[in-house]
Structure 1
Amino acid sequence: MRRHGPLLSRFRSGWNPEPDGTSRVPAALVAAFGSTVLLGLGGTALVGVPVAFSVTAAVICLLILSCVYFATKPAPADSVERVLYRHSRQHQGRYLILEDFDFAARELLGRAQRAIDHILRSRVNVMGMLDSVRNAVMLPAEEWEIARLLTKLSELRARHRHLARGGRSPEVAAAMAPMERALTASEAAVVARVEALERYAAHVTQADRALVSQGQIEVLRAHLPEYEQLVAETGAARFFAPEIGSLSDDADHLRRALRDSLRSAHEAFRYLDG
């Protein structure tokens, strides 16, 4: 259903891909029936066989051909449209489509979806360094809740604009002012939820970068003995010693950075959890 949003929009507008239930006789069977009747009538004229017998034989031949055709014909597989249509009817009221959101709501929802997708696809989440189970459960639930609130905001904003379209007297403007403040406050609350997701995604990005850098440094350290041997053999140890210490310091720094990034990500998740 996520991949076929345009089809869901067509269903919402009234399009139905289900078959109409009418059956059509294959053209090959019609042609076979006509040929059999003509041959039967021709045989009647030549050998004097009664016409009724020839027509009966033609009908029997047609029935045999029909049985063979429908017995060997594979059952048609349901198309994507028909399967999706049935799912859309089954889950009516439990999914939203693009037309349910105004432009501002679509932009906010896109930000939330990009942040969630980034978190779920991150290295640290896939490797279980975050709470991947809770992420898999709570982040989609947060996406749905944000989307549900945005559809309400979209509907109320459209209604508010419609009411204000014909001009407003001072009395009407005063009556509508609390409604406008409620809309503004509600939108700010949804924006705060989206920004919390984005902060969480930013911490996850930092942890991902630290993890990649740490892996690269560890690979370099694994090859360090080869360089140390070369330096010892060439007598250049006094030039190389500071660089060796620097490499070890970099590895320790990246481990601390990864630990701090993961801690920040966990704290952001707790804030998101409420």
Structure 2
Amino acid sequence: MQYVVVDPEVPADVADLFRRHGPLLSRIRAGWTPEPQPVTPKLATRLLQAGGAAAALFLLGVVLLADGGHILMFVTALLIFVAFVGHLAAKEPMETDPEEHDVYRHARWYEGRFLLAEDFDYPAELLRERTRQAVEYVLSSGVHISGMLDGVRNSVMLPAQEWEISRLLAKLSALRGEHRRLVTEGDSPEVVAAMQPLERALAASEAAVVARVEALERYARHVEEAERALRAHEQIEVLRSRLPKYEQLLAETGADALAVPQIDNLAQDAGRLEQALRDSVRSAHEAFRYLDGPAQA
């Protein structure tokens, strides 16, 4: 599935629609338009038409027979009626995909609010993928879901960071592509000298975007450390909940004098892990504040 980066301000249902139809969005951008949706009679309308024709045919038959016959005219009218009803029954609506029309309509309405794979050159695509992985890891982490981090700010700021970084990478990719074309067309010393400041501007812009990606990755690493501490803490807590059974067994076997110190060490380990968890979450909060600084700037 082609990954689509969507502006977080786009409604969630439209964003999900875009993410499911990356290849279709590429075709729309290339000029594809869906076939017009045909207007077909509904079943109730067809039944009404057939019923009206049947009633008219019945009245015609009554009039003709009351007039003394005209069987031939009645049979002709009957055949016409059968052909008409058969036509209605055989006429099936054309197969259409209404979702394609929805994608097309929303793509036109939200043009410029989503980015596709072709918007990024190879170096930019690598950075965009690193950004996606960092954001996805944080938002799916247990410490985020459990509310140990600032969940509201994470859910709002991280998608906004991903969109802003992706937007800058797409712009950088376009400028790099134009620059490469200019380099191939102009090889005189004057042109080469004039392009050097542009190349430095591109390099400086890329370095700034890389710094933002690395800040996101640092935050994700802090979250990963807190995640490991949380899992270890939960496992130690499970062990602590089972301590009474072990203590009872040791007391019954007379081995408690030797083993109690080891069990006490387990409790101390739990305390150290709890402190490590608090420290890891605190570090993640500090990394988040660092990440928030450039965003506000």
TM-score by length of 1: 0.82
Inter-partner Cα distance in structure 2 for 1:74 and 1:19: 13
1:207-229 CA-to-partner distances (Å, cap 9, x unmatched) read 11111111110110111111112
Task: Give the alignment partner of residue 218 of structure 1, picking from 233, 237, 241.
Answer: 237
1:18-54 CA-to-partner distances (Å, cap 9, x unmatched) read 3364879xxxxxxxxxxxxxxxxxxxxxx98556x65
Partner of residue 100, structure 1 = 119
Task: Give the alignment partner of residue 259 of structure 1, picking from 278, 281, 287.
Answer: 278
TM-score by length of 2: 0.76
Letter in 1 for 2:34: P
1:200-247 CA-to-partner distances (Å, cap 9, x unmatched) read 111111111111111110110111111112112222223212211210
Inter-partner Cα distance in structure 2 for 1:74 and 1:258: 62
Structure 1's 231 and 165: CA in aligned 2 closer, same or farther, altered over 3 A?
same
Inter-partner Cα distance in structure 1 for 2:35 and 2:290: 47
State yes or no: 1:2 paired with 2:19.
Answer: yes
State yes or no: 1:270 paired with 2:259.
Answer: no
Structure 1's 235 and 84: CA in aligned 2 closer, same or farther, altered over 3 A?
same
Partner of residue 144, structure 2 = 125
Partner of residue 153, structure 2 = 134
Inter-partner Cα distance in structure 2 for 1:74 and 1:215: 59
Map 1:23-34 → 2, pairs under 5 A: none
Among all aligned residue pairs of Structure 1 and Structure 2, give the percentage whose two residues are the same amino acid.
Answer: 56
Task: Give the alignment partner of residue 31 of structure 2, picking from 14, 18, 24.
Answer: 14
Task: Give the alignment partner of residue 168 of structure 2, picking from 149, 160, 163.
Answer: 149
Map 1:176-255 → 2, pairs under 5 A: 176-255=195-274
| Structure 1: unaligned runs, 5 residues or longer | 25-46
The RMSD of aligned alpha carbons is 2.7
The answer on whether the counterparts of 2:40 and 2:93 sit within 8 Å (CA) in structure 1 is: no
SS in 1 for 2:114: coil
Inter-partner Cα distance in structure 2 for 1:89 and 1:235: 79
Shift of 1:78: 4.3
| Structure 2: unaligned runs, 5 residues or longer | 1-17, 42-68
